[in-house]
Structure 1
Amino acid sequence: MNARLFGLLLWLLLAPSSYAADPAQNYKLAAGDVLRITVFGEPDLSIRKVQLNDAGTFSYPFLGEIDAKGLTPNQVEKKIVAGLKQGYLNDPKVSISQIEYRPFYINGEVQKPGSYPFVPGLTLEKAIALGGGLTERASMKRVTILRGDGGSVDEDNITKTTVISPGDTISIAQGFF
């Protein structure tokens, strides 16, 4: 076996373990998330765009209210498959796609406080930029992040590279001069 073929085989064996798991696999749904539900071969059961209401639920044909809060898209997919198997379809093929994430919020000492659409890869620095930048009185030492996934609060070790998640609320306080 030549060196090039050996290198390719070695890469194929090692490559999957060198990549981080897809974060979308563990994403927990909550109010404001928008999904696309596709039931293959059943256009009447497919929904192009459905937003989770304040309770984290949505209405689905035949099954009624589906509680998606705290579940991953894959878990909701399984829930719909199980429901459709109960006398509606023999072998439903369901696919759920996340088409919009719930917004994040930034307030305090930024030029344009408010809610902004979340995009994957968002950091504190990018969130501040979306908020129009810091005011003259802002203090990067007095930043608090209320996590949207369950209410935990981050106050320590926050840097411009801190990762922001959907539903997070960022508060930037004034510095004392």
Structure 2
Amino acid sequence: MSTEQHQTAPAVRETRGRWRRWRRARPFTAAVLIALGGAEMLATLRAPLGVLLHIGPQGLAAYLVPTILVICGVLLITTPQQRVFYAVISLVLGLVSWLTSNLGGFLVGMLLALIGGALAFAWTPDKDHPPTGAATKPASDEDEDEHEDAADTVLLPGMQSPDPSPVDRG
């Protein structure tokens, strides 16, 4: 192996690591499925088939529903904090597409949108690892001991926390 390959390997690993952290910080798979479902519905609307349905004035709903699904997929990637709202919108529009967009893009687009919406609704951010760029304070041994002692004690409503020093009751 040449020295050039050895020098690029850490850069590639670092890039892959950043991509992996970025992707895991948002409902990426759900967003891609929702956007693909909307795109598939739009593609079936443009297909030269004689079985296409157009309901409403000039089939506006047939184009509006999949377009909003694609937008919801993009917004899930860019603003994962609003994932519940976009997930609910995607689920509702996925069901509405059955009526408006050629049986939900001949079932394929509707199923993609529904699966993506369910995944987006179920997705939660990783609480163990802070987002990239967040400053973390290293925990000292004393902090860990205090947290371990607090975790062992269970308090019911109306109870006082136990005194850490032993009491002589003699």
Instruction: Choose between structure 1 and 2 for higher RCO, CA contacts under 8 A separated by at least 6 residues.
Output: 2
Larger radius of gyration: 2
The two structures have a TM-score, normalised by structure 2, of 0.26
Higher helix share: 2
More strand by share: 1
Give the TM-score normalised by structure 1: 0.26
